[in-house]
Amino acid sequence: MSAAFFRNALIYRLSAPWNPDPAAVEDQLARLAFTPGMAQEAQSLGWVPAMEGEGLAHRVGKHWLLTLRAEKKLLPASVINQFTKTRAAQLEEEQGFRPGRKQMKELKERVTEELLPKAFSIFRDTRVWIDPEGGWVVVDTTAPARADEIIGLLKKSVDDLPLAPLKLAHSPAQCMTTWLVDNEVPGPFSIDDDSELRDTGESRAAVRYVRQSVDADTVQRHLKEGKQCTRLALTWRDRVSFVLTETCAIKRINALDVVREGREGLDEGDARQVFDAEFTLMAGELSGMLTDLLDVLGGEQKAEG
């Protein structure tokens, strides 16, 4: 679709109303703005503008878009080990005996410090969409470790952000298995031809169907073998297709033609107008899709007490 449309989604919730002063959020993000890492730093994290030349807190209507940049020095372990081995051989010749464990550890640390300034840097930008009205906080990734990293920095950056994990009343795997058996999803969703059924036991054996539907008899056979659906391709209202996983991660988000038509009439030469229009379009579509998805998954867990 576009740079503004998310490809993936790990979902969090706003547990209370959030309506901050945009200028205050901008100042808070600036405290942890991205700066290139020092020579000896293996990784550097910080916020960058969603659009070049704009602020860190990109806001269109009631929707917010933030971008976290990670810089990581590319220093393969094999290179470190090779240099360490050479240094160890030199040290053994000098002192007349092989370096011990402590010496090897110190050698490896020194080699790493010396090589880091010469290492190449790779940069990765990951976006966060915040929808105060719908209560959604969505990270454009399916990697839990990366999302944890981003959410952790978001909590440090933005004061009083009422951020909470999404806790569902029912297991997505159980729901998806039922949908496959019934060959139907409640609500405005349809099943597409991509699914995975995985053993719930220690083997974790899996069978996957790509561009192929699964009939109820086949599903029942897999259920008897101890499998359940852990991945299922769906389409929402003939507008957005995606793949839902057992952890409620959403992959391969794709806006269909009916959504793409929303770009018509835009001035393609005005990058800001196009970006904001597509971000607004994405936010509206995903907000509606997530609301309906939450409903067919049985809603959220009720707070105890």
* Residues 6 or more apart in contact with residue 126 via CB below 8 angstroms: 67, 68, 70, 139, 140, 141, 146, 150
Q: Does pLDDT of 275 surpass 80?
A: yes
Burial 122-152 (b: 16+ CB within 10 A, else e): eeeebbbbbbbebbbbbbbbbeeebbebbbe
The pLDDT value given to residue 304: 59
Measured distance CA(228)–CA(204) in Å, rounded: 10
Q: Does pLDDT of 305 surpass 60?
A: no
Measured distance CA(186)–CA(179) in Å, rounded: 8
Burial 161-189 (b: 16+ CB within 10 A, else e): bebeebebeeebbebbbbbbeeeebeebb
Q: Nearest-CA neighbor of 297 among 129, 177, 198, 142?
A: 177
Return the H-helix or E-strand segment holding 189: strand 189-199
Measured distance CA(299)–CA(148) in Å, rounded: 23
Q: What mean pLDDT is reported for the chain?
A: 87
Q: In sequence order, which ranges of 144-270 are alpha helices (DSSP H)?
A: 144-157, 172-182, 216-224, 257-260
DSSP letter, residue 238: T
Q: Does pLDDT of 175 surpass 90?
A: yes
The pLDDT value given to residue 260: 65
More confident residue, 1 or 203: 203
The pLDDT value given to residue 263: 61
Task: Choose the weakest-confidence range: 32-36, 120-124, 185-189.
Answer: 120-124
pLDDT digits (tens, 9 = 90+) for 16-43: 999 999 999 999 999 999 988 665 666 7
More confident residue, 86 or 271: 86
Q: Span 220-225, mean pLDDT?
A: 82
Return the bridge partners of 60, or none. Answer: 63
- Percent of the chain at pLDDT > 70 equals 92
The pLDDT value given to residue 68: 96
More confident residue, 206 or 270: 206
Confidence of residue 88 (pLDDT cuts 50, 70, 90): confident
The pLDDT value given to residue 303: 64
Q: Nearest-CA neighbor of 182 among 219, 146, 155?
A: 219
Measured distance CA(138)–CA(135) in Å, rounded: 10
Q: Does pLDDT of 264 surpass 50?
A: yes
The pLDDT value given to residue 1: 44
Q: Span 255-280, mean pLDDT?
A: 74
Q: What is the pTM of this model?
A: 0.82
